[in-house]
Structure 1
Amino acid sequence: MIGSSRSIWREGKVVHVIDQTRLPHHTQVKQLTTLAEVAQAIQDMVVRGAPLIGVTAAYGVALALQAAADDASLATAVQTLIATRPTAVNLRWAVEHVAAQLATVAPAARAEHALLLADELAQADVHTNEAIGEHGAALLQQRWQALGYPARLNVLTHCNAGRLGCVDWGTALAAIYKAHAAGVPVHVWMDETRPRNQGASLTTWELAGRGVPATLIVDNAGGLLMQQGQVDVCIVGADRISARGDVCNKIGTYLKALAAQAHAIPFYVAAPLSTLDWGIVDGVHEIEIEQRSPREVTHISGRNEAGEVVTVQLAPDGTAALNPAFDVTPAVLVTAIVTERGVVPASHAGLASLREPALA
């Protein structure tokens, strides 16, 4: 399985994940065998991306029940995992889904059943994201056609919404992979995505592996490129979407959406329906924004000339730093939302059209 494109897989009662804190310079697999190890991996962003942390958390519940499968242990596992990352709704959705299924299972059978439920969520995520990719690729194909089939279609993305943020395929990058495979001459502008540099470290690594032409830019170059006519379409992922279509994603997404609107550039958001939070309407004011360590702002890691990965300090000692991990892009700035069930307007009516009666 190590040679596959999956970011998480299970062998027996051991869960394997790609350690994303080591990329792009080292590809290292980390083994998770306990609830504590899973919670730490999510907290430290060994795994990241809304769909992937949801599936990882589901495995966390399953691993917790290997030690004790009574109601109290199940409740503790759910609470522990939900507390690791407060913004991405997929995590809560996944653990609550597993917990609800296990509530009707006898404690003696829960441990094995929980592993199978987590496997099902992992496999469903693969199918979901491939479907997102197909719908998103159709949009990119349409944009290429509308522009008169230029020699290349310049796509701007932000952060990493690829297979590293999911079990496989990804969301925004799945659309790019599918379009590239279909013959659309895609070229991707990848901004570095400070402070953790997921664009520079992860998206670059992914696209190079797929042979997709791409160029790394600094975060603040996107607006200039749009102004110069060098961006044809934007597509990003999401960590939470409100019922009316407000999109919470990696910090810096809002500024890209503002610039795209100013230059009449389509701004698409690709995400599974599990990223929709039907309980929140006003995403701008109701979504909790995770505040991470100031050290992520004041320090940076990279490989030196000796080939060693080192961390260096950017700011003077004692510098105060604010590190909100996400921002919220109002629905009015989003051209459309791409889901596994199709493309809809970023509006309450648009999203509600995809909602299953059972979820209403």
Structure 2
Amino acid sequence: MLPNQVYPVVWNHDRVLLIDQNRLPSEYTLVEISRCDDMAHAIKTMIVRGAPAIGVAAAYGMYLGAREIEATNRDQFLAKLERVAEQLRSTRPTAVNLFWAIEQMLKTARHTIGSLDHLKQALLDAAQRIQQADLETCRSIGDHGLAALPPGKLRLLTHCNAGALATAGYGTALGVVRSTWNAGRLERLYADETRPRLQGARLTAWECAQEGIPVTVITDSMAAHCMQRGMIDAVVVGADRIAANGDAANKIGTYSVALIAKAHNIPFFVAAPVSTIDFNIASGKDIPIEERDASEVYQVGETMLCPPGVEYYNPAFDVTPAELITAIVTEFGAFPPERIQAELSPIS
């Protein structure tokens, strides 16, 4: 049975339920997570993925880890909680929301006074607040993105999946698409398939199909052709980390789309919460880029795509320079990249 609304991370009584995004679209499966080790594995293996969703999952992972801690005093508990945090930090190096959520949970633990049972409950409450805040944030991003788009009926292009599956629900880039659809202004969404893990073909298309949003899947190499033919009015993508100067790391292939959009004078928007902006990093050169297993490139399922004896390179992300970005859409509005530090740094 498929959901009416998509929530990739759900707290259910005493455990977390995750949609297994590795099995979509052929199979809708929920994975039960009741231990921090299992949550770390789920994040690392991309059962849950997308920067905001990873942050929510990590927050619950911190609570699950705290629940397992045996300690006789507060200092001992906090020391063990830091080890839990380090385990979760090691799962995905690029998505800054992971680190942000972990730090929020650590702050909660440090500032909560009372028994260890009270402290653990405070951590669960904090994780649930992070989840609810992200959902509200995405709806605001959607509305601000709609306001920033060109007027009239629109044909939008997106890359990868920055939708409900990648957040607490609703989505960042797909949140903008949803708001545009709900306002009656979306003619069609074009979704890059997004090699090598095919998140556009598998996940973005699946989300749109659940809601009847008109979507056309194209291969990554077709984006330039579609823009040349006048089929795209604007591009909207998400981000896993944004530097202080507005450089944005997103799924590999995003930089190519931005270059093509610039060549065709098509506006290019990055939609992300302020928690995705890392004001401690001056530019995209300092953003760590995760490299994933070569098997993602040389096979799809059980089918081998390449001959034996060749080498592989599989960076999960690339960095789009700020000068290629029309605006960064956040829960507080849409801003030119050069303005985000002045406008948003105090908020974070």
* TM-score > 0.5 by shorter chain: yes
- The TM tier, using the shorter chain, reads over 0.9
The residue type equivalent to 2:147 in the other structure is A
Secondary structure, counterpart of 2:344 in structure 1:
coil
Give the whole-Å Cα distance in 1 for the aligned partners of 2:4 and 2:260. 39
State the 1:144 CA deviation.
3.2
Give % identity.
44
Aligned to 1:296: 296
Give the whole-Å Cα distance in 1 for the aligned partners of 2:187 and 2:344. 29
State the 1:131 CA deviation.
0.3
Give the whole-Å Cα distance in 1 for the aligned partners of 2:299 and 2:7. 30
Aligned to 2:97: 90
Q: What are the superposed Cα offsets for residues 222-245 of structure 1, whole Å, 9 maximum, x if unpaired?
A: 011111111110000000000010
Give the whole-Å Cα distance in 1 for the aligned partners of 2:34 and 2:309. 38
Secondary structure, counterpart of 1:186 in structure 2:
strand
Moved over 6 A (4+): none
Aligned to 2:73: none
Q: What are the superposed Cα offsets for residues 50-94 of structure 1, whole Å, 9 maximum, x if unpaired?
A: 000001000000000111161222011110001100001000000
Q: Which segment is superposed worse, 90-99 or 1-10? A: 1-10
Aligned to 1:304: none
Aligned to 2:342: 352
Aligned to 1:305: none
Q: TM-score under structure 1 normalisation?
A: 0.91
The residue type equivalent to 1:135 in the other structure is H
Aligned to 2:147: 138
State the 1:2 CA deviation.
6.0
Gaps of 5+ in 1: 146-151, 302-310
Judge conservation of contact 1:64–1:73 (CA < 8 Å) in 2: no
Q: What are the superposed Cα offsets for residues 28-58 of structure 1, whole Å, 9 maximum, x if unpaired?
A: 0011000100000000000000000001000
Among 332, 340, 347, the residue aligned to 2:331: 340
Q: What are the superposed Cα offsets for residues 130-174 of structure 1, whole Å, 9 maximum, x if unpaired?
A: 00001111223xx133xxxxxx52111000010000010000111
Describe how 1:93-112 pairs up with structure 2 within 5 A. Answer: 93-105=100-112, 106=114, 107-112=116-121
The residue type equivalent to 1:111 in the other structure is K
Give the whole-Å Cα distance in 2 for the aligned partners of 1:248 and 1:352. 20
Aligned to 1:124: 133
CA RMSD of aligned residues (A): 1.4
Q: What are the superposed Cα offsets for residues 172-215 of structure 1, whole Å, 9 maximum, x if unpaired?
A: 11111111111113301111100000001000000111111111
The residue type equivalent to 2:162 in the other structure is A
Give the whole-Å Cα distance in 1 for the aligned partners of 2:190 and 2:4. 27
The residue type equivalent to 2:181 in the other structure is H
Q: TM-score under structure 2 normalisation?
A: 0.94
Give the whole-Å Cα distance in 1 for the aligned partners of 2:145 and 2:197. 26
Judge conservation of contact 1:138–1:179 (CA < 8 Å) in 2: no
Secondary structure, counterpart of 1:92 in structure 2:
helix
The residue type equivalent to 2:95 in the other structure is A
Judge conservation of contact 2:20–2:48 (CA < 8 Å) in 1: yes
